[in-house]
């Protein structure tokens, strides 16, 4: 029997952004692997593992008992961040949900507008919608990563500063920091989106109706340009 759960690369990268000594809120916890892992490793002082559904919380409870972590982690049944403020979390994880749902959860929780709270987010879809929401609502993205395992995932870290900014279409989709950091996972993600956009472009070209999409065409040419630049660097 192992004394901590084994984290996938996606969960491991997200967990690495939790601060030492933090009290963690894991929203949509399901298995509760990250709170258990970080608590058992002594990195966090405690956590609330929260979910909207009973089934995932039963899984979380079984894991707390299995890994003997029930002393430091409280289970909570609620929608998003409802009722979480009373735990005064330092770091909030919202992983494995759609980008729009993550936006909705944050927008309903005014208490996250606090420069001491760190949001660690991993949207399964629409990272561009999440980045647009964050940047327009005063949350600064302070760190981000692209993780390639069974799929390609993006993790972003944000804190409320009150300063809004506007991101380009490339920055919304791939992340300003990711684009400046480069790397193989970025190349894979760019290629993935190039394939999608090329297929859509072919579909438009074969359609009889005029279905121009200058936005997607421009994005595709910027992706190609970035891929050329990155290939030169390698
Ligand atoms: C795909 S699982 C992700 C589990 C884990 N966070 C991970 O990334 O591996 C999504 C979880 O979010 C929960 N969930 C969905 N909507 C939610 C909401 N509005 N508030 C809290 N939890 C939610 C689901 O019940 C489910 O357990």
Cα-to-centroid distance, 101 and ligand 1 (Å): 10
Q: So where are the chain's domains?
A: 9-167, 184-233
Cα-to-centroid distance, 91 and ligand 1 (Å): 17
Cα-to-centroid distance, 117 and ligand 1 (Å): 20
Which of 30, 54, 82 most suits a substitution to test ligand 1, by most atoms within 8 Å of the C-beta?
Answer: 30
Decide: 147 in ligand 1 pocket, CB within 6 A: no
Decide: 28 in ligand 1 pocket, CB within 6 A: yes
Decide: 79 in ligand 1 pocket, CB within 6 A: yes
> In the chain, which stretches have pLDDT less than 50?
1
What pLDDT score was predicted for residue 234?
59
DSSP string, the chain: --SSPPPPHHHHHHHHTSPTTPEEEEET-TT-HHHHHHHHTTSSSEEEEEESSHHHHHHHHHHHHHTT-TTTEEEEE-STTTTTGGG--SEEEEEEE-HHHHHHHHHT-GGG--TT-EEEEEESS-HHHHHHHHHHTTEEEEEEEEEESSSEEEEEEEEE-S------HHHHHH-HHHHHH--HHHHHHHHHHHHHHHHHHHHHHH-SS----HHHHHHHHHHHHHHHHHHHH-
Please determine, looking at this structure, whether the domain spanning 9-167 carries the CATH number 3.90.930.12. no
What pLDDT score was predicted for residue 231?
86
Rounded Cα distance between 213 and 136, Å, is 25
What pLDDT score was predicted for residue 40?
97
For atom 24 of ligand 1, the residue with the nearest CA is 28
Decide: 53 in ligand 1 pocket, CB within 6 A: yes
Cα-to-centroid distance, 96 and ligand 1 (Å): 6
Q: pTM above 0.85?
A: yes
What pLDDT score was predicted for residue 14?
98
What pLDDT score was predicted for residue 2?
55
Decide: 155 in ligand 1 pocket, CB within 6 A: no
């Amino acid at each position: 029997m192992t004394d901590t759960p084994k984290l996938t690369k996606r969960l491991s990268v997200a967990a690495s952004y939790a601060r030492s000594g933090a009290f963690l809120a894991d929203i949509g916890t399901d298995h509760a692997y990250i709170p258990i892992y970080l608590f058992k490793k002594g990195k966090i002082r405690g956590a609330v593992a929260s979910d909207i559904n009973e089934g995932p919380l039963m899984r979380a409870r079984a894991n707390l008992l299995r890994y003997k972590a029930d002393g430091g982690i409280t289970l909570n049944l609620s929608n998003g961040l409802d009722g979480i403020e009373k735990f005064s979390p330092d770091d909030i994880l919202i992983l494995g949900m759609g980008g729009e749902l993550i936006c909705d959860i944050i927008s309903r929780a005014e208490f996250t507008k606090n420069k001491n709270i760190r949001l660690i987010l991993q949207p399964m879809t629409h990272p561009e919608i999440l980045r647009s929401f964050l940047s327009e609502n005063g949350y600064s993205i302070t760190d981000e990563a692209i993780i390639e395992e069974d799929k390609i995932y993006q993790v972003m870290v944000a804190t409320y500063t009150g300063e809004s900014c506007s991101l380009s279409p490339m920055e919304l989709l791939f992340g300003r920091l990711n684009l400046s950091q480069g790397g193989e996972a970025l190349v894979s993600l760019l290629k993935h989106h190039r394939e999608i956009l090329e297929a859509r472009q072919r579909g438009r070209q074969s359609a009889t109706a005029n279905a121009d999409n200058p936005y997607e065409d421009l994005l595709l040419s910027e992706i190609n340009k970035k891929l050329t630049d990155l290939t030169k660097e390698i």
